[in-house]
Amino acid sequence: MVYPNTPEDPAEFGLDVARTGVVDVEPHKSLLSGKAAVRRATEAVGIPYTYAVAGYLAALALPSIGIGQGEDKAVILGDGDTRVPFVDEGDIATNTVLAAGNPRAENKTLHIRPPANTLSRDELLSLWEKKTGKALQREYIPVDAVLKQTQEAEEAAMPLNMILAIGHAAYVKGEEEAGFEIDPAKGVDASELYPDVKYTTVDEYLNRFL
The active-site residue, picked from 29, 35, 73, 108, is 35
Cα torsion 88, 177, 16, 145: sign: negative
Going by pLDDT thresholds of 50, 70 and 90, the confidence category of residue 144 is: confident
Which span out of 18-22, 30-34, 128-132, 136-140 was modeled with the highest average pLDDT?
128-132
> At 76, which amino acid appears?
I
**Within 10 Å of residue 142's Cβ, how many Cβ atoms?**
12
Output the pLDDT for position 126.
Answer: 93
Which of 42, 25, 40, 32 has its CA nearest to residue 9? Answer: 32
Active site residue 186: no
Output the pLDDT for position 130.
Answer: 93
**Within 10 Å of residue 58's Cβ, how many Cβ atoms?**
24
For the chain, list the domains and their CATH numbers: 17-201 (3.90.25.10)
Q: Choose between 55 and 197: higher pLDDT.
A: 197
Tell me if 125 sits within 8 A of 74, measured CB to CB.
yes
pLDDT digits (tens, 9 = 90+) for 76-111: 877 888 888 889 999 999 999 999 889 999 999 999
